[in-house]
Amino acid sequence: MNHVATIEADRSVSPQQRFRDELTRMADQFVAALPEHIKPERFQRIVLTAVLSDPALLKADRKSLLESAMRAAQDGLMPDKREGAFVVFNTKIGKDDRGKDVYGNAVQWMPMIGGIIKKMHQSGEIAMVTAKVVYGGDIFRAWVDDDGEHVNYEQAEHPDFETIRQVFALAKTKDGAVYVETLTPRDIEKIRSVSRSKDKGPWATWWEEMAKKSAIRRLAKRLPLSADMHDLIQRDNDLYDLSQAPDPRPSLQQRLQVAKLAAPGPSDDVEGFDAAHVTRETAALTGEPASGQTEDNSQSSDTPADDNGSDGKSPSPESTVAADLSEPADEADEEEDAPASEQEKPSNGSAAASSSEPTRTRADCIKAFMTTATDPDLDVAGRRDLLEQMKDWWKADLPNDLDFVKACLSTAEKVAKGELGAEAARKYLEGLL
């Protein structure tokens, strides 16, 4: 009879009351885990408020919930959604009677950026630490020089909160050293994409806070912090499935392939420098004859002075191809398509070819920059990175048109950032031809 009464009493206890009783029974453990400046009664009250305000926590695995509360006590942080929070995620919680994995909702303790910064200040090693989201209209620049890492940041009076440009974290140690870590929106997206709760919880409701925390976590790897502090920062690693991490950022190989398709160059299938191209460019810059031409002149001392052969006839097609093996394939094709009178002219004095080359190359320069500036497969940061690399390539291809290359770069950057229309930019650049 007493056993039946006990069962009925247990059924009448609500989940909220049952959790209160479990929290009360853990009071001595909280006292042992909490730092001296935090009263156990206050900590238990905040834990209870956090759990009762989120029904999903009461429905989740109870053991993981109580363990998360204990970890919060050990960290000396409050689960008030400023210093930290309890997060529900789906995971394996055990096995059934047949040995199969059983999945369900578990609870993870997640220190938030407010709590991490608080603990960093309490460590005694950090003089100042902060993290900010850079919106449209804000002034921001991060750079490194001989004096160390630097940031220039000023929030706009009316920021464009719809445009997120960067997220950065800055820390200054007691000895005066400054550490900076910047993340682009695609970096943040990569981190969010591997979260087990990427579409709910903190990432859905506090995106900016999670983004700043991501920058702090990345920065903390370089800071002189204690092992306990590093453990705190890595506390929520279980929330990320790194084995399934997609990388939305194009790889270096992909970016170079895009640039290769956009910019004209030698048609060799072998990667590396094109010897003929380097020879021609060196000769153009120094005013000295190309090495291939010098060899031809030295060989002519052993042969008749007539370049067309001893019999005075035009060279055969086979000999023409053999003589042009040192030239790139695209130039050989142009010579084959040219009229016979032009093919008979000496190659080292081709004034007609040099007079038409600047217009063709500058037009191709415009096409390459505009193709990259409007590439739908790259985000704004990716387009700007690739444009910056293309600048050096085109400076080498157009050594006498550096101002034109600079104009193509600045105009293409405006197109990439959406400040200028592609058609208007193209017409402006074509007017410079």
Q: What is the pLDDT of residues 285-336, one digit of tens each?
A: 555 555 544 444 444 444 444 444 444 444 444 444 334 434 444 444 444 4
Asked if pLDDT for residue 112 goes beyond 90, the answer is no
Euclidean distance between the first and final Cα of the chain, in Å?
100
419 Cβ partners below 8 Å, 6+ apart?
A: none
Share of the chain above pLDDT 90, in %: 24
Rounded CA separation 424/17 (Å): 68
**Backbone torsions φ then ψ of 404, nearest 5 degrees:** -65, -45
What's the rounded Cα separation, in Å, for the pair 427 and 330? Answer: 28
Query: Tens of pLDDT along 127-175?
Result: 999 999 999 999 999 999 999 999 999 999 999 999 999 999 999 999 9
Residue 245: pLDDT band (50, 70, 90) is very low
pLDDT tens, residue by residue, 2-49: 555 555 555 567 888 899 999 999 999 999 999 988 999 999 999 999
358-417 pLDDT per residue, tens: 444 788 888 888 888 888 777 777 788 788 888 888 888 888 888 888 888 989 888 888
Q: Residue range 78-99: average pLDDT?
A: 84
Quote the Cα angle for 41-44-47, to 5°.
Answer: 150
Say what the pLDDT of residue 287 is: 59
> Could you give phi then psi for residue 133, rounded to 5 degrees?
-100, 125
CA distance 116 to 129: 10
Which residue type occupies 266?
P
Residue 262 CA to residue 365 CA, distance in Å, equals 9
**Other beta carbons less than 10 A from residue 78's beta carbon:** 23
Give Cβ neighbours of residue 373 (< 8 Å, ≥ 6 apart).
Answer: 383, 387, 412, 413, 415, 416, 422, 425
In this model, does residue 72 exceed pLDDT 90? yes
Q: What is the pLDDT of residues 401-416, one digit of tens each?
A: 888 888 889 898 888 8
Average pLDDT, stretch 280-287? 62
Alpha-carbon distances of 364 from 47, 185, 262, 303, rounded to whole Å: 65, 32, 9, 42
pLDDT score of 231 more than 90:
no
Per-residue confidence (pLDDT) for residue 348, from 0 to 100:
43
77 has pLDDT over 80: yes
Whether the pLDDT of residue 216 is over 50: the answer is yes
Query: Is the pLDDT at 352 greater than 80, yes or no?
Result: no
Mean predicted confidence (pLDDT) in 273-281? 61
Place of tokens 């790897």: 221
CA distance 401 to 186: 35
Q: What pLDDT was estimated at residue 379?
A: 75
What is the per-residue pLDDT for 270?
47
Whether the predicted pLDDT of 187 surpasses 50: yes
pLDDT at residue 69 greater than cutoff 60 = yes
Task: Give the model's confidence band at 355: pLDDT under 50 very low, under 70 low, under 90 confident, else very high.
Answer: very low
Mean pLDDT of the chain: 75
